[in-house]
A and B are shown apart, each in its own frame.
Chain A
Amino acid sequence: KNEVEQSPQNLTAQEGEFITINCSYSVGISALHWLQQHPGGGIVSLFMLSSGKKKHGRLIATINIQEKHSSLHITASHPRDSAVYICAAQETSGSRLTFGEGTQLTVNP
């Protein structure tokens, strides 16, 4: 069993749909990161959170520490949101990130 698991692995949506990507982790963490990897391969950090909820534009990230679960939501999805979304758990013992396998999101016009 991976320490960080994401679901779904692949997600196809129509433009405008509300999207949710889930991440569960089994390790103790100091923070949970959400990353976006563009089709060209570049990686961008979207959120880093250790409790509650963060919002940036159409993106919302939530975390439930007790349940060891985080979600990434995209409202009013757009084709340019098509990318791989990766969650990563930052261990309490340091800065090491353990990555999930990623969710490939495709938003069709």
Chain B
Amino acid sequence: DAGVIQSPRHEVTEMGQEVTLRCKPISGHNSLFWYRQTMMRGLELLIYFNNNVPIDDSGMPEDRFSAKMPNASFSTLKIQPSEPRDSAVYFCASSSLGPYNTDTQYFGPGTRLTVL
């Protein structure tokens, strides 16, 4: 398996622009997580899905952020409009059990976002 795939790997954009990050989880995994990592705050959970349904979005910073999972093999994280403080590395991870079970999470390589 190719592992969790994220695109793009790097994104540089200007303040006010819309940014869309993409994630393809490992085939057969039914939980998907979006994380953000910054120097100041470390790793933070933004949102996670189980069976394509958002379970916990309490980490989404504000209305400018939205995430969707239209099917089991694809998810997007959108920022509109983007701001310089959104600059971070965004990780997607997937795992294979239900929302209240424990299982190893497999991380994608991350998308490094820079908002100028």
Residues of A that sit less than 8 Å from B by CB: 30-31, 33, 35, 41-45, 48, 50, 86, 88, 90, 93-102
Whether the Cβ atoms of B107 and A31 lie closer than 8 Å is: no
Residues of B that sit less than 8 Å from A by CB: 31, 33, 42-45, 48, 50, 55-56, 59, 89, 91, 93, 95, 99-107, 109-110, 112
User: Quick one: closest A residue to B89, CB to CB?
Assistant: A41
Whether the Cβ atoms of A94 and B100 lie closer than 8 Å is: yes
Whether the Cβ atoms of B109 and A41 lie closer than 8 Å is: yes
User: Quick one: closest A residue to B49, CB to CB?
Assistant: A95
| B109 → A minimal CB distance (Å) | 6
User: Quick one: closest B residue to A49, CB to CB?
Assistant: B102
Asked whether A42 and B42 contact (CB < 8 A) given A48-B103, A95-B99, the answer is: no
| A27 → B minimal CB distance (Å) | 13
Dominant secondary structure at the A interface:
strand
Whether the Cβ atoms of A31 and B102 lie closer than 8 Å is: yes
Cα distance, A15 to B44, chains bound together (Å): 32
Whether the Cβ atoms of B105 and A33 lie closer than 8 Å is: yes
Whether the Cβ atoms of A99 and B56 lie closer than 8 Å is: no
Contact for A102 among B42, B48, B50, B106, CB less than 8 A: B42
Residues of B within 8 A of A41 (CB): 89, 109-110, 112
Residues of B within 8 A of A95 (CB): 31, 33, 48, 50, 55-56, 95, 99-102
Whether the Cβ atoms of A101 and B50 lie closer than 8 Å is: no
Whether the Cβ atoms of A99 and B102 lie closer than 8 Å is: no
Residues of B within 8 A of A99 (CB): 42-44
Query: Other than the known A30-B100, A43-B110, A44-B107, what 14 A-B pairs have Cβ atoms closer than 8 Å?
Result: A35-B107, A41-B109, A45-B107, A48-B102, A48-B103, A50-B102, A86-B43, A94-B55, A94-B99, A95-B33, A95-B101, A97-B33, A98-B45, A102-B42
Residues of A within 8 A of B93 (CB): 43
